[in-house]
Amino acid sequence: MESPAPFPYLEAVVGFMVFMYLFETYLDMRQHAALKLPTLPAPLVGIVSMEKFEKAQAYSLEKSRFHFVHAAVGIVEESATLLLGLLPWTWDKSGSLVGKLGFDQSSEILHTLAFLAVITLWSQVLELPFSLYSTFVIEARHGFNKQTLLLFFRDIIMGLALTVVVGPPIVAAIIVIVQKGGPYLALYLWAFMLLLSLVLMALYPVLIAPLFNKFTPLPEGELRYKIEKLASSLGFPLKKLFVIDGSTRSSHSNAYMYGFYNSKRIVLYDTLISQCKNEEEVVAVIAHELGHWKLSHTMYSFLAMQVLTLLQFGGYTLVRNSTDLFLSFGFTTQPVLIGLILFQHTIMPFHHLVSFALNLVSRAFEFQADAFARSLGYKDSLRAGLIKLQEENLSAMNTDPWYSAYHYSHPPLVERLQALDEASKKEE
């Protein structure tokens, strides 16, 4: 009796990648059509000027055209990498490189680090033209780019240097855990990633982020007083309040918070402060962010990611020794890292479904955080602030509902404004 034919993992993965490319391209076409609409959505008529609308439309359309090209090149590169067997070829050549450098070629850790170095550098080379065009053509043309070529390449080099410092110990630890994990491998991997994420969450804003941006305390004044008063009224353990020099790279704006337990920090982009009309609008944006904290959104998201991580590692343990999986992609050996990479390829449908579900949850959280800020009396200021940031960032005014539902982790501006207005009407 003949044994059943092995499952065609490679063909299935490439087939799904092409299917998702076609599906997402269809959504992109719908969004592109929405971006070409000549009029503002009804809720923004009389609020956003036609000049701002036309600028936002031009910016969004140019980014959309660029995305079509980038996505097309991307799917060709990814498909070719898999179908032409470039992954196993690179793995074999990386092993030879280790030997030529005088190191132990049989060491899986050294072999893996060499493979990652080659893949990382190659990815940087492939992505560089797109990054340069996006930054120094599109972003510059529409007044957003503020960084020089020197700063651009400095960031790339700094990122690679951090990868060289941080990456090898993490990769080595994962390989050792898989090799010695036994029946509790999934739990060990999950525990390691949990510890790693907590350490990085603690170290990133203190040691890594300052390498790329300058953090300065928000000066004494009305804005600082209002933010500290708001935080105190909510019981938010604010320890430090920073302004980040986001304007050195871009005119886009943002704000975020970080920290553990009773030591929280709030970071404001200098562009946020300059773009908002007054302090109340900035405070309203912070009230929204504090709403995420007060409603435990960050904790819920973190716990969800831990569950998903554990499930993924559990799935990985079921296939990590699958000879058919490795052979399908052209590998005659079964290295730990390659197994993880191939497993991630095979569960792409799961990733897409989870990503869509998390976007839905995130959108719900955004509405809740807006409602929280409104309940504090910031409805008008938040409304004005959201509109101002939409204008200054030249964000798309018209969005296709299918596209936004699939891609956006934040609801479109029109939906957020309608939710704020409807909530106020119900209270009247």
Cα 373 from Cα 285, distance rounded (Å): 8
Catalytic residues: 289, 370
Cα 84 from Cα 146, distance rounded (Å): 40
Q: How far is CA 14 from CA 20, 77, 340, in A?
A: 10, 11, 17
Q: Residue 172: exposed, middle, or buried by beta-carbon count in 10 A (0-12, 13-18, 19+)?
A: middle
Q: What are phi and psi of 39, to 5 degrees?
A: -125, 155
- DSSP letter (8 states) at residue 267: E
Contact 229, 286 (CB under 8 A): no
Report the binding-site residues.
288, 292, 366
Q: How far is CA 15 from the centre of its chain?
A: 25
Q: What are phi and psi of 242, to 5 degrees?
A: -110, 155
Residues 6+ apart with CB under 8 A from 235: none
Report the binding-site residues for Zn(2+).
288, 292, 366
Cα 220 from Cα 26, distance rounded (Å): 51
Cα 172 from Cα 46, distance rounded (Å): 59
User: H-helix or E-strand containing 241?
Assistant: strand 238-244
The backbone region for 50, taken as left when phi is positive above 0, alpha when psi lies in -120 to 50, beta otherwise, is alpha
Contact 9, 327 (CB under 8 A): no
Cα 308 from Cα 287, distance rounded (Å): 30
Contact 390, 413 (CB under 8 A): yes
Cα 326 from Cα 334, distance rounded (Å): 7
Q: What are phi and psi of 47, to 5 degrees?
A: -110, -45
- DSSP letter (8 states) at residue 277: S
